[in-house]
Amino acid sequence: MLHYSIVFLVVALIAAALGFTGLAGTAASIAQILFVVFLVLFVISMFNGRRPRTH
């Protein structure tokens, strides 16, 4: 998922450099949303990994 956010960020930067402001804004918004989702899932997995396992 982090890969997708980086791809959308690169697309947004290229579109902004070429002057496609609508496309750049949309790609930047998607990249931001995916990055936040990635961070939330990362934090959840960090907390789940710290629990001692009981058999």
* 8-53 tens-digit pLDDT: 888 888 888 888 888 888 888 888 888 899 899 888 888 887 767 6
| HSE-CB of 48 using CA atoms within 13 angstroms | 6
What pTM does this model have? 0.67
Residue 55: pLDDT above 70?
Answer: no
Residue 1: pLDDT above 70?
Answer: no
pLDDT at 7: 85
What is the CA 37 to chain-centroid distance, rounded? 6
